[in-house]
């Protein structure tokens, strides 16, 4: 899929991995709709990037606001051709312990935001792409989801997060197969430990320990490396139905 001139939607695009992806897409000539709950950060990013960027306040768990963001991207001159979902949250709690069983509500919330939210963006963006005219190679669009290596190497206390990200991995291939007839590709990126606002709140000692655990390069990933892979997926039409680990060969220990 050609990036220049295409319309793109980045859910969770106001910070972290999503912001880096917005910046890369915009620099390559895409017209980008940033969908996020954080209006201030999203609008500041639009003001910085200028023409070719716009913001829609959207909650990935709310179909109406996601549909509004999709329609904004679909209405661009290039149509909605690229969708990237980076929205997500975390929660740390063991299945059971001295305080009793894992709370149900946080588990449901993480599943709702990470898994159902991703599906919400995927299904609505794909529906818009299907209505577009295909390219010369019969392609109509590309959808990229964000999982985590926790989908495979979930640590102690990550039951809800791992389940949500494992669900994203699990729906990648069937989604690609569902949409193949329409020429819409679906891939998922499973990042390891990246230097995002979430990790930025940790003490430096903890951050260094996380970096040292990565075989090579022994450092935290930077959001622009996620964005670079996302753009490669967009341009490489043989990548479909695939989940790609982006983790420096890290396999997480139990804790």
Summarize pLDDT for 217-238 with one digit per residue, the tens: 999 999 999 999 999 999 999 9
Active site amino acids: 161
Model confidence at 198, in pLDDT bands (50, 70, 90)? Answer: confident
Tell me if 168 is assigned to some domain: yes
CA dist 12 and 167 (Å) reads: 18
Tell me if 79 is assigned to some domain: yes
Q: Summarize pLDDT for 128-152 with one digit per residue, the tens.
A: 999 999 999 999 999 999 999 999 9
pLDDT at 57 over 80: yes
Tell me if 47 is assigned to some domain: yes
pTM (global) more than 0.85: yes
CA dist 182 and 73 (Å) reads: 19
* Domain of residue 236, residue span: 7-246
pLDDT given for residue 138 in this prediction: 95
Tell me if 151 is assigned to some domain: yes
Model confidence at 176, in pLDDT bands (50, 70, 90)? Answer: very high
Phi, psi of 91 (to 5 degrees): -160, 135
Dihedral, CA of residue 76, residue 34, residue 59 and residue 120, to nearest 10:
60
Is-contact 110 164, C-beta < 8 A?
Answer: yes
Question: What's the burial of 100, exposed, middle or buried (CB within 10 Å: 0-12/13-18/19+)?
Answer: exposed
Tell me if 255 is assigned to some domain: no
C-beta atoms surrounding 47 within 10 Å: 10
CA dist 96 and 113 (Å) reads: 23
Tell me if 253 is assigned to some domain: no
pLDDT at 165 over 90: yes
**DSSP per-residue string spanning 66-118:** HHHHHHHHHTSTT-EEEEEE-------B-SEETTEEPPHHHHHHHIIIIIIHH
Tell me if 226 is assigned to some domain: yes
CA atoms within 13 A on the CB side of 65: 15
Nearest to 49 by CA among 27, 80, 76, 17: 27
pLDDT at 200 over 80: no
CATH number, domain of 49, equals 3.40.50.720
pLDDT at 102 over 90: yes
Tell me if 97 is assigned to some domain: yes
| Summary mean pLDDT of the chain | 96
Model confidence at 114, in pLDDT bands (50, 70, 90)? Answer: very high
Number of domains in the chain: 1
């Amino acid at each position: 899929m050609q990036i220049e001139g295409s319309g793109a939607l980045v859910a969770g695009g106001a910070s972290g991995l999503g912001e880096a992806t917005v910046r890369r897409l915009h620099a390559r000539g895409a017209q980008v709709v940033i969908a996020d709950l954080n209006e201030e950060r999203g609008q500041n990013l639009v003001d910085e990037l200028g023409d070719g960027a716009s913001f829609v306040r959207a909650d990935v768990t709310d179909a109406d606001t996601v549909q509004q963001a999709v329609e904004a991207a679909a209405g661009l001159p290039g149509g909605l051709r690229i969708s990237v979902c980076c929205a997500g949250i975390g929660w740390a709690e063991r299945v059971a312990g001295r305080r009793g069983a894992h709370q149900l509500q946080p588990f449901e919330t993480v599943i709702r935001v990470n898994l159902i939210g991703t599906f919400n963006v995927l299904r609505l963006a794909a529906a818009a792409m299907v209505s577009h005219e295909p390219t010369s190679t019969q392609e109509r669009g590309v959808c990229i989801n964000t999982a985590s290596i926790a989908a495979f190497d979930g640590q102690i206390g990550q039951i809800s997060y791992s389940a949500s990200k494992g669900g994203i991995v699990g729906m990648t291939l069937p989604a690609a197969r569902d949409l193949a007839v329409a020429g819409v590709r679906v891939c998922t990126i499973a990042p390891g430990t990246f230097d995002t606002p979430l990790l930025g709140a940790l003490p430096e000692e903890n951050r260094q320990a996380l970096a040292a655990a990565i075989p090579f390069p022994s450092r935290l990933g930077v959001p622009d490396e996620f964005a670079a892979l996302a753009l490669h997926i967009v341009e490489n039409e043989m990548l479909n139905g695939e989940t790609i680990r982006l983790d420096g060969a890290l396999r997480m220990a139990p804790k």
